[in-house]
Amino acid sequence: MPHSKRIFGTDGVRGRANIEPVTAETALRLGRAAAHVFKNLHGQARNRVRYRIVIGKDTRLSGYMLENAISSGILSMGVDVVFIGPLPTPGVAYVTRSLRADAGIVITASHNPYDDNGIKFFRPDGFKLDDVVEKQIEDLVFGGEIENIRPTANEIGKAYRIEDAIGRYVEHAKASFPRGMTLEGLRIVADCGHGAAYKTTPAVLQELGAELIVFGAQPNGTNINHECGSMHPENLCQKVREYRADIGIAHDGDADRVLLCDENGQLIDGDDIMAIASIQMLAEGTLRNRTLVTTVMSNAGLRVAVEAAGGQVLVTPVGDRHVIDAMLEHDLNFGGEQSGHLIFRDHSTTGDGLVAALQILSAMKTRGQALSKPGTLLDPLSAVGPQREGADENALRGTRRGSGSRQTRRGGRHPPRGSRPPALFRHRTEGPPPDRRPRHLSDGTVVGRNLRLDPTAGRGDVVRGRKVEEMKC
């Protein structure tokens, strides 16, 4: 009988390592359940000999524990395991497809601190699991349906490691960059966040000819995302100014997202990246159906920029899975989030920070322009919005988590977002430039000129050199 307990969140299983549900015991049960589900989904092994599942991870200390636990569960169900070691999440998705495996697993907690960890699953085609398959796995984890399935002798699975996974992904990422084009003449600062991209991103950029300054590429199991990478982009911006680089690139722990920094040390977030790439793709005629997919959290200035270039924007609830689902449903090839999750579907099946960075570098080389060139970035609508902690999803009545924005009478909007965990409700107000709106909002908040909010910015934070002020009547 199905169990009501849930361990899957919005992006796999995640939590404090060695605390439920991210324990060795649960990982073993997850491995058994996933192996059973994938065997029955496909009926016959894709490699025509035995079933096999690819397992990759980021650089967290707890990855060793979880890797061994989940692989033991898989092997006990008669399914082979292919270890590929530390590799970005999009790399695991790609290798799963490349090896014609029956599923892929990546052990990571993405941008979280090192003492967290998690487990994500990929289908054979490299896309994330849908809710139905996740529910099947959960029911088996907590039920007893497969307790008596115990292959013996030579029916037990076999584990082996492949040594060329990094090389496979490096060549795949390079293939997303135009042939005949190089990065010669560009000085790039790369901050790998001591995470899964510590080998792959430097290798690709160097092989393409860039002059490279690398930081965050000495993982020790406990320094992933610690004062580095896309969670601390101020460090990247400082290094770009210090080394007089042309661009800075920062990843999170599993490198499924990217933030950039221009030659002046100004942060370029996911909205800016989507504007640059969309406008370039519209000019080249490669943006399918002339449509960009993004979420309710993107600045409304992104829509203005894309529409001015002759495109349109399809808006989804928060979460990269909603973006991917919309892209698949409408046969679109580009979408993303303000946080830096960017999906170029012609090249990847999930967010890929390295591939996204390469598309922007390609646009820079094609245009022969610096990243800060006027007209290259979107003109964001002014925004203020401190996070309100401790509020549950019903704090604002009538607003659903991930629902659409409420439009104002003067061309602005209020994009809300509930978040769990922790219990958090984020609210931001956007509107036209000051010369086209009243100086004060209805609640007495004074809106500064051309503010550009970092997703983590709160009251009193300095964002793009200006202070976010909140005043109430």
In the DSSP assignment, the letter for residue 448 is P
Q: Which residues contact 429 (CB under 8 A, 6 or more apart)?
A: 383, 384, 385, 408, 412, 413, 414, 441, 445, 447
CA distances from 60 to 17, 106, 122, 401 (A): 10, 12, 20, 31
End-to-end CA distance of the chain: 57
What are the tokens at 437?
Answer: 């709106």
110 in catalytic set: yes
Give the distance from CA 331 to its chain's centroid. Answer: 20
Alpha-carbon span 281 to 434, nearest angstrom:
31
Selected catalytic residue, list 62, 110, 176, 405: 110
Cβ(66)–Cβ(27) below 8 Å = yes
Dihedral angle computed from the Cα positions of residues 88, 92, 97 and 98, in that order, rounded to the nearest 10 degrees = 80
What are the tokens at 150?
Answer: 């115990």
Which ranges constitute the DSSP H helices of 77-130? 89-98
Q: Rg of the chain's alpha carbons, rounded to an integer? A: 23
Residue type, 331: D
The length of the chain is 473
Q: How buried is 201 (Cβ within 10 angstroms: 0-12 exposed, 13-18 middle, 19+ buried)? A: buried
The dihedral of CA 264, 282, 351, 423: what is its sign? positive
In the DSSP assignment, the letter for residue 137 is H
CA distances from 170 to 59, 89, 92, 130, 184 (A): 18, 13, 12, 28, 18
In the DSSP assignment, the letter for residue 443 is T
Q: How buried is 342 (Cβ within 10 angstroms: 0-12 exposed, 13-18 middle, 19+ buried)? A: buried
CA distances from 379 to 320, 328, 376, 431, 451 (A): 24, 29, 9, 12, 10
What residues are paired with 343 via a beta bridge?
A: 335
β pairing state of 416-419 and 424-427: antiparallel
Task: Point out the residues that are catalytic.
Answer: 110
